Structures are given as structure tokens and as C-alpha cells.
Structure 1
Amino acid sequence: MSQVPKRAEVPAEHRWNTEDMIPSQKAWDQEYDSVKQKLKDIAAYKGKLHEAAELKACFSLDDAISLSTERLYVYANMKHHEDMAEPTYQALSDKVKKLSVEVNEATSYITPEILGLSDETLKALIQDPSLAFYKKSLDDIVRDKPHVLSQAEEALLAQVGNLSQAPSTIFDMLNNADMKFPKVKNDKGEEIELTHSRYIQFLESADRDVRKNAFEAMYATYGKHKNTIGATLAANINKNAFYARVRKYPSVLEMSLFGDNIKKEVYTNLIGSVHEALPLLHRYMKLRKKLLKVDELHMYDLFAPLVEQFKMDITYDEAKTTVKDSLKPLGETYLNALQEGYDSRWIDVYENEGKRSGAYSWGSYGTHPYVLLNHKDNLNSMFTLTHEMGHALHSYFSDANNEYRYAQYPIFLAEVASTLNEALLMDYLLKKSTDPKEKMYLLTYYADQFRTTVFRQTMFAEFEMITHDKAEKGESLTPQDLSKIYYDLNKQYHGDGMVVDKDIEMEWARIPHFYNSFYVYKYATGFSAATSFSKQILEEGQPAVDRYLGFLKSGGSEYPLDTLKRAGVDMSSPEPVNQAMSVFKSLIEQMETLTK
């Protein structure tokens, strides 16, 4: 095995070019000093925001401060991620974090002051032609007004902000620091300690005893802590209910959806559509049982490999070519931008000593996006490349077509472009494949994405909805209540064709997303929207491509549902989920044909 190189040993063509963002340390220092001066300048507008000219100047300066701070922050942290052990950029990262706090403090008066204006003054400002560019910002502030309390009440809520984080903090400490798991045997018969990161590796083992023992050990451990974790999760749910009540939202769910202006029906329709598609998941479970050649399919079999590991050696250059070929349906405009990313050192390709693990796309307005990879010559890394370039090109088109204030697309839309790229790559690979073993490997890879991203995340979303509904009705949420709700959902989702082991009733206790309430549904909606886009693009051609490019260019200029609807995906209807399910059905049919 070759040694991991030091950062200085990585060839320039495989390193991202951060000089495109900020050319030197001297330039960084100058921009930092400029922000500090602007923070003094913005204080001058306090008490004057009832006048259109002053409000416009304040918004403009606020944008300039925000953009510079973002650029300083992104640059410092990207440099830090190149080598986490290098102290220079750790210090720079800490310095800009403190600056961010100063920025938030210096600009914190803006929204409350606008909200404190009379309805008549606010209406006049919104209709003022000189503020036309800021109309959406003002509309958003006004939309929030019914849920903003008096200045004294807001100050009180701000003071208890740290207390409200207690359930999440306690869970993190218990889950990641204090909880210890027993030793279990791995594939080689060696007894090693079970950990969070090793758990999925155990579940992906071809040895069923390894899977079963890890599964039982994991949930037996959580079972011993069920009262503490149950009380912690219930406290988080009750905290959410408190905030919804005091801010005058009809429910926690509607409070969580408010920021993106998403109706409750989008959430409930997702659950309803997935319920209708459950027979497809049950059919996949039966196929999984057949492929594994087991008498009974258990919960610990859901991550087991369905075909022998099919080794696909794919170099980085081969991955780039394959990704570009797979994205040809998106047309020349998209492909040219992709090639620009390849050629202009947007991408930090390989692992080096001290480099941050994983992958991401990041950047700052006014500069091209960047992508961090830790590329290995395999299928997963090729999918990571197309996924992160999907994010990067979404930002590229969004930034090119919007002013800074409206360029950032909302989180609700964040996974659409990345997942669409994965869908087109998978379609390309499946159409090109002639080896039945390779084809089955690809089909199972894709089918499991549907299972984990659409079905599993929707089941999580339904668990959140049920538990919050019970809390808001004043009903109990004991560990036994939580376990019963979770177990019943698993029975419903996975069907009678498999054994839903009783141990799974404790899985709710290990899901950190439940402390970031009503977030997980976005994985399922994003995946469904991307699958719908890919289906339209492959079937309709240029008209669908034009709509999709329009979506990429929209940024945050309108609310996310409106952005998607304009592009041909109406998430307020069941159609996108239904289209995704038609793709899932096709995968199952192809797998069934290969197993005959």
C-alpha cells in the first residue's frame, strides 16, 4: 500500500486553486480589516430604517459585509481542510469565526427595527420603487412578523437559547462519548469493539452471524439506556412544542416548514405517496430474500451484499470522462461548465496527510465553486465526483444569474442537482453494461438508494410527525411509547415478507437527525424531485433540459416549491414521488429478470 503523501507532495493539477478566491495572506488581512471598518459604518443606520434611502444603503452595506465575511470564512476553512494539523489556518479559521459573531451582533438590529415599524410604513417601503430589488427580503420579514414577539420576550427567548440545545447536547455526549459497545467477532473471527463507524461495516458483511451479532449487540446496548435517551428525546420534542406555542404556530411541523414557505400538505402527501408505494418495497424485500438465499429475511440482512463484490477499478481520469459522458443529456451549456471545473482546478482530488475526510462542494459568491474529494479508484468515488459536481454546478449557475442576496439556494433544494447527476450516471452505466453480474451490482446499488433515501427517511419523517402530534396533544412519550411507535412503523414499511426483529424497536434511540426536527423529509423530497427531473430529461429531451437549467439558475430568488414547479416538478402533488417509484419499479423488474 502506497504511503499517503504530504500536502506539498501533491501535484498542483490535483489541488484546488484557492488563489482564485483570495490571492494571498496579505489580501485576506486587507479584506478582514475592511469588514471591521464596515461594521462601524453600519451602526450609523440604526434608528433610520423607516426611510427608503437609508434602508437601501443599509441593506447594500449588509450584503457587502456578509459577502466579505463569507469569503474570509470559506477560504480560511478550505485551507484548514487541506491539512488539519497545520496551525496557521486553524488560527485563521478561529479568527474568522470570532469575526462572524461580531458581524451578527453588529447587524442584529436590522430585522427587529424593520419589524417594529408600523404596518403603514412597512407597506410604503415595500411599494417604494427604489427598494424593488429588496421586495422579497421585506416580504420575508413581514411574513415572519406574526411569529416575532415583543423586544423583551425575544430577549428572554434569546437568553434561554443555550438551554434549548440541552437535549441535543446531552444526546451527543451520551451517544458519542459515554456509550460503550461490546466486542463482537468480525469476518476473520477476531473480537473487536463495536463502534458507530464499524456498525455498518458489520451489517455489510457477507457472514450472517457477524451481521446478527452486531445488530443484537447494538440494540441491546441502546436498550440499557432507553430511559435516559427516551427522556432526552421527549425533552427535545416538548421544547419544540413550547417554541411553536409561544411563536403562535399551529404546530411544530408548520413552524419547521415556515422558513421555506412549504405547506404542511407537502409533508403529509410525501408520507401518503410512500404508503401507496409500500407494495414495491415489500416486493424488493422478497427479492432480497431470494438473492440472499435465506429462509427468513431479518432486519440485519438489509445491508448485506446481494451479489459478490464486483470490483470496478476506475481511475480519476476515467471517472471524469464517464461522468461527462453520462451528463450529455443536459446539453452543451452544462457540459462546458463541467469541463471548466475539470480544467480550472476547482477540485482537490486525492487524500494527503492531515486532509479532511469525506467530500463536499463549497465556495463563495464571486468565485467559482470548489470540490473536496478523497478519490479512490472505485465506483463509489465516481458517484461522489458526479454528486459533488452537481452541487458545484448548481452554485455556479445560481451565482452567475443572481445578485448575492438571492444567489444562495435553500436547503430544501440542495440535494436535487447532486442526486440528478447520480441518476443520470446510473442510467448511463446500466444502458452500457453487458455483464449480467455488473448490471446486478449496479441495480442493487441503485435500489438500495431508493430504500434508504426515500422509504427509510420517510419512515423517520412519519415517526417525527406521530411523536410531535402526541406531545402537542399532551399525551405521554415514554420509552415504551417511542419503541412501540417505531416498531409498528417498521412492520408497516417492511411488510409481512420478512421478520421485523423486536430489537429494531430501539433504533429511534440512535438517530441523531431526530434532534434536528422535521429535516429528514428533505432527503426523500430531494431524491424524488431529482428522479422526476432525470425521467423528464431522458424522455422529453431539450424542453426538459431548458426547464432544468432554469431551475439551476434560480438560486434563492423565489420560494423552493415555486422554483421546482416552474421547472416542471410540483412537489405539492404526488406526481414526483410517483415518478420516482416508477423508476424503482423498473429496477426491481430488471433485477427479477436477471434472477430468473
Structure 2
Amino acid sequence: MGDRINTCKAVGGIKLKKREEIPVCDTWNLADILPSEEAWEDLFHETERSLSGYKKFEGHLAQSGEMLFSCLKFDEEVSLKIETLFVYGKQKSDEDTGNARYQGLSSKARALSYQAAGLSSYIIPEILTISEELLKEYREAVPELNRYNRTFEVILKKKAHTLPAAMEALLAGSMEATSGSSEIFNMFNNADVKFPEIKDENGNTVKISHGNYVALMEKQDREVRKSAFYGLYGVYKQFGNTLAATFSSNVKKSAFYATARNYPSARAHSLAENEVSEEVYDNLIKAVRDGLPYLHEYVALRKKALGVDTLHMYDLYVPMVSREERTISFEEAKNMVLEGLKPLGDHYLSLLKEGFDHRWIDVYENEGKRSGAYSWGVYGVHPYVLLNFNGTLDSVFTLAHEMGHALHSWFSDKNQTYVDAGYKIFVAEVASTCNEALLIRHLLEITEDKKERAYLLNHFMDSFRGTLYRQAMFAEFEDKAHRLAAQGEVLTSETLCQMYHQLNADYFGPEMVIDPEIDFEWSRIPHFYTPFYVYQYATGFSAAVAVSSRILAGDETAIKGYYKFLSGGSSMPPVELLKLCGVDMSTAEPVKDALLVFSGLLEEMKSLI
């Protein structure tokens, strides 16, 4: 790769830059994980050689507390090394998904993780052969074992779903063979798929990409939105049968592992992994279904505000009220986030600045870069954030969102051991969405312009529509698809499209035209390849609205509880962690309360337009 530019200016323009053309200061510094690819290779070979160490513990864990501790400590050390290899390799691959060398790093680390999973698969079955009384004796005799108290608690909960050691080894060995569907989708969606060019509002030629699609859908020019919508979904439609087969394969995979582990369904299996009851999932769907009249009102208001005879799916992202479009620089975005998150205190702000100033963030889109945004990292190293920042207000909120994830990880890593630091997915969206809620309320508070206030209210309402309603609809789609497959139905493109069409009709109501192209939206959602993940965006959003409201009210107990939550990792079940913030997700109340906030925003918006 060639030398990078060493000046630091906002990256703009229509043509995507190559990776080496991005200023160094706008890229993340992966050298904080490993200094070079040579260091990666050294660590890989060291870890590969060490895996034989698992053999000396196999069949002996029940012999003594010392033996049990030595095995768990060895497994922890191997896990951290493999995490380091995988995160570095995957993040290098995400910089340029078409780079075969980086793909190789990621693939080798993944294969090593599967190998380690197979060699260590005896650990949980052997621990389960130790009586609780004897395990208690071991923990008293070897105090270091208390490091794994939470591990033991979780293992014991899964006793009925843990197989004999030989079967566990077989399942672990199957993981690499069954990961193809998600890998195929990832390569298709990020490296191979090509979208057409369209004309923007100024007559310039723009190539549709994952990174600019939402920005195009926010354009005031309706023809630009329509062209982007048809252009993007026209491509997915061409590959409908292939993507249906890929999606169906992943559904079958999740059903297989659920059956193998004696769970009644893939949903039950997925939720049990996060210690969440299925009642939480059903409560969400029911509460959102009950709140659909608010969304129907929103659609009617949007139709009126835009002054159109018919409202189409490509009219959902453009602001209901126009304002002079301006590009927000990344420097401005950082300052907006710092101002908006002041209620979280000086310590939180100092950590944000550290992330901004020390290359935690990969800022701009480049040719081949992974779409979307995420936060990730390695225990013992600061977290990282991948963005595709494009200067819109949405991208400012994405920055706040991903830094919420990053600092959640920072606090958990600083306050928990490696084994307890990784928080469950169920709580993962709370800190990120709380940041967004604090930022939008700050912007609403400081504006004195009626039009600007309407614009911001529109943005906040769209967060409800896009996160609470849309992700709940995704969750309902997933649930229906997995149930159909469990009943022996073949998940063809036609079946999936029909189901998705009806859900859109139900959710958006009679004032919305459900364009046939939207029927293929299911085929472009990466999170469907992590089954029963998306519902947590909706539950997390609901919890975050509640937490941010308490913080803004100046509730000191809420702020203290929130810091305890951020620092909790997986030291408690996720529903219990949220109770530290005063939010009980075992009930439907947080979802209902969030929908009432949406209703209030809707009423204010009606008075402004």
C-alpha cells in the first residue's frame, strides 16, 4: 500500500477515494493492537502451537481446584490471543474488503478460533460432572477460582443444554463448516455488489453506495430519492433467489444448533445465550403492535408535510421540513457530540476527547471499505470505531452512537476481568442510544428557530420510526421466517417478499404506498445473519429513552446507576444490569413509555407544520 497523505482535511467529493488516499489522522491506529502484520503472524503461530496445551487438562478437571483453575486460566489466555488476532485481521479486512491478504488474516483467525473451540469443547461438560458441593470446596481451597464465579453461574444455567464432551467437540468442529451463509452474504454485500449511477439534484453523476444511500434518500429532490431507491433495490431484486437461499441456509443453521442443544426453537436458543426470556421478545412485538396507530398518524403527517398525493417508501427519509442543506465537518460533529453529552460529566467527556484525539476512529468511506458503522476492540486496548462519515446530521448521531458503544466497552474493560467484561448484546444498544437521545434533546434545547426545531423533532421522531418501529418489524419478520422454516416451509424469495410486504402494510398503514421494491429489503440486512439480534435495538432504544430522561432530570441516583451499568460488563444478567438504571425490561412498560414520548413529539410537530 502506498504512502498516505499526512495532512488532515475533510474528505469529500463524489468519487470514492482509495484507502491510501485517506489522511492518516482520519484512520484508526491498529498498531495499538499489534504493531505490524509480521507481529500478527508471530502471534498466530505462537497461539497455534499453544493449542496442544488443551490436551493436558482433558479428563482431569474434576481432580482438583488447582487443575480446574489452571485450565480456565489457560483457556482465557488463548481466548484473548485469538480475539486479538481476529479483531486485528477483521478490522484490516474492513478497511478494504476486496483486499485478499486482509481477508486471509481474518479467515485464518476465524479458523484458529474454530480449532480452539473444538479442542476446548470438553471444558463445560467436565465442569458439569463436578457436583456443586465439590465445586464449592474447590473455590474455597483455591480462591483464584472465584475469578470465574459468574462463568460457573452461567454454565450451570445451561446444564440441560450441554452435551457430552464428544458431542460438544463434534458441534464445535461443525461451526466452520456452517458459517458459509454469513460469509457469503458479507462478501456479496461489501465486496461484490455493484450499484448503478444516478443523477443528483445538480445533474452530477453519483454512484450509489452503502455509504451514500441514506444521504441520497434524504435529498429534497424526489426524483433523486426515487432513482436511488429503484437503483439500490433493483440490484437486490436481481439476486433475490440467491439471497433467499443464503438467508434460508442461515435459518437452517440456527435451527440445527437449537435442536442439537435441546432448545424448542432457534429463538429460545438465541435469547437464552443472553439470559433473556422469550416473554421480553413477545412483550416488545405486542407493545409496538398496540402503538401502530401512532406510526399511522406519523405517516399521515409526513404525507401532509411533504405535500404529496401519495407517500412512497422513498419518501420516508427526507426531512418533513426543508432547511438549507449544509455539510457538517467532522470537527464540528465532534464538538456537537461533546456539548450534547455534558450531562454525563467531565470524566465521560475526557474519554470522548481521548478517543477523538488518539485515532480510535476510522472516519471516512473509501473504496472497498465495509459499509455502515460499528465499535469493536480487544480487551486491554482502547476500543475502536468504524464510520463512513458523510457530513449529514445522521452521521453526527452515528458518531455519538458508536462512541457510546466504545465508552461502554472502555468502562466494562476497566472494571471487569476479561471473562466478565464482554457485555451481552441485549444491553449493547443502551449506552449508544442514550448518547443519541441526550444529543437530540440538547440540540432541541438550544435552538430558537421554529423551522430548526421542527427539523430536529422530525429527526427524533425518525429515530423512533427507524429504531423502535422498524427494528420491531424486523424482529417480527425474523420470528415469522424462523417459524415457517420450523414448520417445513421453504423460504423462497417469493415467500419472504410476500411476508415482508404484508408487514410493511401493517406497520405503515393505509396512507403509505408499499412499493414492490421494498419487498426485497430483507435481503440486504446484515444483522439477519446473527439471528434474533435486531429486537435488541428496539428494547435498547426504549431503555435508553428512559435512562436519558432520568439523567436530564438531574437524578443523581440515575447517573450513578448508569455508571455502574456501564461498568458492569456481563457480571450480572442483562435485565438485572438495566435495573441499576431504574429500567425493568422484564415488563412492557419501558416500550409503552417510549411510544408515549413518540406520541408527544408527534403532537408538537403537528403544531409546527
The alignment's TM-score, normalised by the length of structure 1, stands at 0.84
1:408 corresponds to 2:444: no
The equivalent residue for 1:140 is 154
1:581 corresponds to 2:598: no
Q: 2:275 aligns with which of 261, 280, 304?
A: 261
Deviations 1:182-235 (A, max 9, x none): 887765678998777776566444344554566567667766766665565555
8 Å CA contact retained: 2:211, 2:371: no
The equivalent residue for 2:70 is 57
Q: Given residue 494 of structure 1, which amino acid in structure 2 is its aligned partner?
A: F
The equivalent residue for 1:299 is 313
8 Å CA contact retained: 2:425, 2:533: no
Q: Given residue 58 of structure 2, which amino acid in structure 1 is its aligned partner?
A: K
The equivalent residue for 2:3 is none
1:48 corresponds to 2:60: yes
- The structural deviation recorded for 1:514 is 3.5
Q: Return closer, same or farther for 1:97/1:545 CA change in 2, 3 Å cut-off.
A: same
- The structural deviation recorded for 1:594 is 1.4
- What SS is found at the alignment partner of 2:402? helix
- The structural deviation recorded for 1:48 is 2.0
CA distance in 1, matches of 2:95, 2:232: 35
- The structural deviation recorded for 1:85 is 9.7
Q: 2:382 aligns with which of 364, 368, 372?
A: 368
- What SS is found at the alignment partner of 1:361? strand
Q: 2:120 aligns with which of 110, 113, 123?
A: 110
CA distance in 2, matches of 1:196, 1:24: 29
8 Å CA contact retained: 2:80, 2:379: yes
The equivalent residue for 2:511 is 497
1:124 corresponds to 2:138: no
8 Å CA contact retained: 2:216, 2:224: yes
- What SS is found at the alignment partner of 2:375? strand
- What SS is found at the alignment partner of 1:551? helix
1:250 corresponds to 2:260: no
8 Å CA contact retained: 2:89, 2:109: no
8 Å CA contact retained: 2:287, 2:591: yes
Q: Which 5+ residue runs of structure 2 have no aligned equivalent? A: 1-10
8 Å CA contact retained: 2:562, 2:580: no
- What SS is found at the alignment partner of 2:276? coil
CA distance in 1, matches of 2:253, 2:321: 46
Deviations 1:542-570 (A, max 9, x none): 11111111110001112211211232221
Alignment map for 1:176-255 (pairs within 5 Å): 187=201, 203-209=217-223, 211-212=225-226, 215=229, 233-234=247-248, 236-255=250-269
- The structural deviation recorded for 1:493 is 0.9
- What SS is found at the alignment partner of 1:206? coil
Q: Return closer, same or farther for 1:415/1:467 CA change in 2, 3 Å cut-off.
A: same
The equivalent residue for 2:539 is 525
8 Å CA contact retained: 2:285, 2:472: yes
- What SS is found at the alignment partner of 1:554? coil
- The structural deviation recorded for 1:78 is 5.6
Q: Return closer, same or farther for 1:468/1:20 CA change in 2, 3 Å cut-off.
A: closer
1:562 corresponds to 2:594: no
Q: Return closer, same or farther for 1:229/1:32 CA change in 2, 3 Å cut-off.
A: closer
Deviations 1:442-463 (A, max 9, x none): 2222222211111111112112
8 Å CA contact retained: 1:467, 1:482: yes
- What SS is found at the alignment partner of 1:415? helix
CA distance in 2, matches of 1:555, 1:285: 39
CA distance in 2, matches of 1:196, 1:86: 18
CA distance in 2, matches of 1:549, 1:252: 33
- The structural deviation recorded for 1:402 is 0.8
CA distance in 2, matches of 1:174, 1:96: 16
Q: Which 5+ residue runs of structure 1 have no aligned equivalent? A: none
Q: Return closer, same or farther for 1:276/1:9 CA change in 2, 3 Å cut-off.
A: closer
1:423 corresponds to 2:437: yes
CA distance in 2, matches of 1:163, 1:76: 20
- The structural deviation recorded for 1:579 is 2.7
Q: Given residue 46 of structure 1, which amino acid in structure 2 is its aligned partner?
A: E
Q: Return closer, same or farther for 1:112/1:575 CA change in 2, 3 Å cut-off.
A: same
CA distance in 2, matches of 1:170, 1:29: 25
Deviations 1:100-127 (A, max 9, x none): 6446535644342441466454652255
- What SS is found at the alignment partner of 1:282? helix
CA distance in 2, matches of 1:460, 1:156: 33
- What SS is found at the alignment partner of 2:158? helix
- The structural deviation recorded for 1:56 is 0.5
- What SS is found at the alignment partner of 1:418? helix
Q: Given residue 157 of structure 2, which amino acid in structure 1 is its aligned partner?
A: R
Q: Return closer, same or farther for 1:257/1:479 CA change in 2, 3 Å cut-off.
A: same
1:472 corresponds to 2:482: no
Q: Given residue 587 of structure 2, which amino acid in structure 1 is its aligned partner?
A: S
Q: Return closer, same or farther for 1:308/1:111 CA change in 2, 3 Å cut-off.
A: same
CA distance in 1, matches of 2:234, 2:24: 49
Structure 1 window deviating more from structure 2 (133-142 vs 49-58): it is 133-142
The alignment's TM-score, normalised by the length of structure 2, stands at 0.82
8 Å CA contact retained: 1:238, 1:471: yes
8 Å CA contact retained: 1:7, 1:353: no
- What SS is found at the alignment partner of 2:532? coil
CA distance in 1, matches of 2:224, 2:116: 56
Q: Return closer, same or farther for 1:302/1:6 CA change in 2, 3 Å cut-off.
A: closer
Backbone CA RMSD of aligned residues: 4.1
- The structural deviation recorded for 1:281 is 0.7
Q: Given residue 78 of structure 2, which amino acid in structure 1 is its aligned partner?
A: I
Identity score, percent: 45
1:572 corresponds to 2:602: no
- The structural deviation recorded for 1:383 is 2.4
Q: Return closer, same or farther for 1:109/1:138 CA change in 2, 3 Å cut-off.
A: farther
CA distance in 2, matches of 1:441, 1:337: 30
Q: Return closer, same or farther for 1:549/1:475 CA change in 2, 3 Å cut-off.
A: same
